[in-house]
C-alpha cells in the first residue's frame, strides 16, 4: 500500500504523517515514512540544491530535472523495495508535486511531465493521496513560523519566497488533480486544528486499508 501526502507550504503534512504512523503500527502494519525530495543519501544533496534560497538563479528546467532525479533514486532505493516487502509506504510528496509545482505553477507542459513520470516511475502510482488543503495566506504564515525557528544550516525557503499567485496556482493545481482522479485523491480541510485533521485522515486510511 502506497500512501502520499500533498499540499501547499505549511499545510501540516509532516505533523499529520507523524501522527498517523503510530496508528498504523498499532494496527500491526509494517510501515515506513519517506519524503521527496531528500529521502536517499543522493537525494539529500539534491534537496539541498533545490531548496537553498541563495540558488535563485536555478532555471526551471534544472529544477524539474532535479526533482525527477531525486525521485528516480527514491523509487528504486526505497519505495519499490518496501512495497515488494509488503510494507505500507507513506511519502511526504511524490509525482503529483511535480505536476503541480513545475506544471501548474511554473508552466511546464503537463503532457511532458506525464511522459517524464512514465520514464522515472513507470506505472507506480499511489493507492491513496491525501491533499491537505487550506488558504495560501494561512499556509504561508505557518510555513514562515516553522522556517524562522529552524536551526538548519541552509535556509530551505526558496519556494516560500514565491508570490501569493504562485502558491494559489499550486493550491488550485492540487484541487484540479483531485477532480480528475477522485478515486485516488481525498481533500481534507487542513485549516482545522491538527487533532481534527488527524481524525479525518484516520477514517480515510482505515477505509482504504480495510477495502
Ligand atoms: P517540502 O517542503 O514538503 O519538504 O517540499 C520541498 C519543496 O519542494 C516544496 O516547496 C515543494 C517543492 N517540490 C516541487 O516543487 N516539486 C516536486 O516534485 C517536489 C517533490 C517538491
Q: Once rounded to an integer, what is the mean pLDDT over residues 23-52?
A: 97
Q: What is the CATH number of the domain that holds 134?
A: 3.40.50.300
In the DSSP assignment, the letter for residue 109 is -
Q: Which three cell numbers stand for residue 203?
A: 477514517
SS3 assignment, position 12:
coil
User: Ligand 1: which residue has its CA nearest to atom 6?
Assistant: 37
The tens digit of pLDDT for each residue in 36-48 reads 999 999 999 999 9
The tens digit of pLDDT for each residue in 129-156 reads 999 999 999 999 998 888 888 766 667 7
Distances (CA, A) of 170 to 133, 134, 192, 194: 10, 11, 20, 22
Number of domains in the chain: 1
Tell which atom from ligand 1 comes closest to the C-alpha of 13.
Answer: 3
Domain that holds residue 90: 2-210
Q: Return the closest-CA partner of residue 133 out of 180, 178, 181.
A: 178
Pocket test for ligand 1, best of 40, 69, 101, 140 (most atoms within 8 A of CB): 101
Return d(Cα 22, Cα 19) in angstroms, integer.
7
Amino acid at each position: 500500500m502506497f500512501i502520499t501526502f500533498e499540499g501547499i507550504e505549511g499545510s501540516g503534512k509532516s505533523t499529520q504523517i507523524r501522527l498517523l504512523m503510530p496508528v498504523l503500527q498499532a494496527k500491526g502494519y509494517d510501515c515506513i515514512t519517506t519524503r521527496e525530495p531528500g529521502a536517499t543519501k543522493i537525494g539529500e544533496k539534491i534537496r539541498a540544491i533545490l531548496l537553498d534560497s541563495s540558488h535563485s538563479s536555478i532555471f526551471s528546467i534544472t529544477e524539474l530535472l532535479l526533482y525527477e532525479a531525486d525521485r528516480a533514486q527514491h523509487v528504486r532505493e526505497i519505495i519499490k523495495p518496501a512495497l515488494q516487502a509488503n510494507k505500507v509506504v507513506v511519502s511526504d510528496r511524490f509525482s503529483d508535486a511535480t505536476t503541480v509545482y513545475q506544471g501548474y505553477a511554473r508552466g511546464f507542459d503537463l503532457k511532458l511531465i506525464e511522459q517524464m513520470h512514465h520514464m522515472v516511475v513507470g506505472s507506480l502510482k499511489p493507492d491513496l493521496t491525501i491533499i491537505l488543503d487550506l488558504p495560501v495566506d494561512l499556509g504561508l504564515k505557518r510555513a514562515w513560523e516553522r522556517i524562522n525557528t529552524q536551526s538548519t544550516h541552509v535556509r530551505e525557503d526558496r519556494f516560500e519566497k514565491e508570490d501569493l499567485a504562485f502558491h494559489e496556482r499550486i493550491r488550485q493545481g492540487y484541487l484540479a488533480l483531485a477532480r480528475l482522479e477522485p478515486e485516488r485523491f481525498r481533500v481534507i480541510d487542513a485549516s482545522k486544528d491538527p487533532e481534527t485533521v488527524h481524525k479525518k485522515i484516520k477514517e480515510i486510511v482505515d477505509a482504504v486499508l480495510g477495502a
